[in-house]
Amino acid sequence: MRILITGGAGFIGSALVRHTLLNTDHHVLNLDKLTYAGNLESLSPVEHLPRYKFLQADIADSTAVSLALAEFQPDAIMHLAAESHVDRSIDGPAAFIQTNIVGTYALLEATRAYWMALPEERKQSFRFHHISTDEVYGDLHGVDDLFTETTPYAPSSPYSASKAASDHLVRAWHRTYGLPVLLTNCSNNYGPYHFPEKLIPLVILNALEGKPLPVYGDGSQVRDWLFVEDHARALLKVVTEGQVGETYNIGGHNEQKNIDVVRAICGLLEELAPNKPSGLARYEDLITFVKDRPGHDQRYAIDASKIEHELGWTPEETFASGLRKTVQWYLDNLEWCRHVQDGSYQRERLGASA
């Protein structure tokens, strides 16, 4: 297949690009605007492969997207390009509206025009796979409730509201125009190449530098953690085997309180990085509880039984095994982290080209 992946320089997108190129014979065009969260260094393991191409472009730029579609002739589009940080959406929601809603609309329209012009056989096999989040469902208050594919939407933040809107657009383009779409909603991802503003890498890197480990509220918020490489396997499974018009929830079966995640990281660092910053007795001593953010959802948890029963996907990593791999990766790749922290990774965009 020839797969166009939007947002392929981001955390999940780059994992999908790496997985696809290293484990299949598919060709990939990575279309990414290269905002702050896009990092071409995350693609170094595959950037030399002849089946990989990169194009710096904005999904909201209909002309650029249409030209890319005409030239690359994809058999599938996997749409991951999005603004995705809740705190940033609270401080500045406009970018989330522009990228997640307007950008998705522009991409859908360019895709529809491309799809309509395909020969009938290719038209039937074409797929538009929209990758979304479990945050569109709001939060769960009971200890046993799970998000299913039919859970009503109740987004809490500007970010989740913008992703909910994009989900609705994709379903409308299927219902109204017949565009062959697939949707997936995933739980919290973690793993290698995660941008350091997110909880797990932030805690790892702050701890190594002896900085406070900020925990919102009392840290009792519960998330279902999904190792990013498990997610990449699921996404490829859905785009190649999923039923058109269907939604699949992808979860890690790994519910953890935020405070327990932070403590688990501290425990791994005690073992893997015992040489602490000067004067620090225990990494856990750095834990600092801070004021909770507005509209903070209490609990997310995914029922991933549909994708397991229909497509045969289950996560390979437990939270313990995935977290150990993640902590070790950051310890082994501090140069990648430094390039993100000092901003030097962004200079790569100056030389980015198709």
Active site residue ranges: 134-135, 159
HSE-CB for 51 with a 13 A CA cutoff: 18
Return the beta strands (E) in the chain as ranges: 2-6, 27-32, 52-56, 76-79, 127-133, 181-186, 188-190, 213-216, 222-227, 247-250, 255-257, 287-290
Tell me the two tokens of residue 207: 């701890």
Write out the H or E segment, with its range, that includes residue 236: helix 228-241
- Cβ proximity of 145 and 196 under 8 Å: no
State whether the Cα torsion 152-154-159-164 is positive or negative: positive
Return the number of other C-beta atoms located less than 10 Å from residue 50's C-beta: 6
Write out the H or E segment, with its range, that includes residue 339: helix 334-341
Q: What CA–CA distance (Å, rounded) separates 159 from 297?
A: 13
Helix axes 158-177, 104-116, angle to 10 degrees: 20
Q: What CA–CA distance (Å, rounded) separates 134 from 261?
A: 19
Q: What CA–CA distance (Å, rounded) separates 242 from 65?
A: 25
Planar angle of CA 234, 121, 311, nearest 5 degrees = 20
- Cβ proximity of 39 and 48 under 8 Å: no
Q: What CA–CA distance (Å, rounded) separates 316 from 7?
A: 25
Exposure letters 266-293 (e unless 16+ CB within 10 A, then b): bebbeeebeebeeeeeebeebbeeeeee
| DSSP 8-state code for residue 80 | -
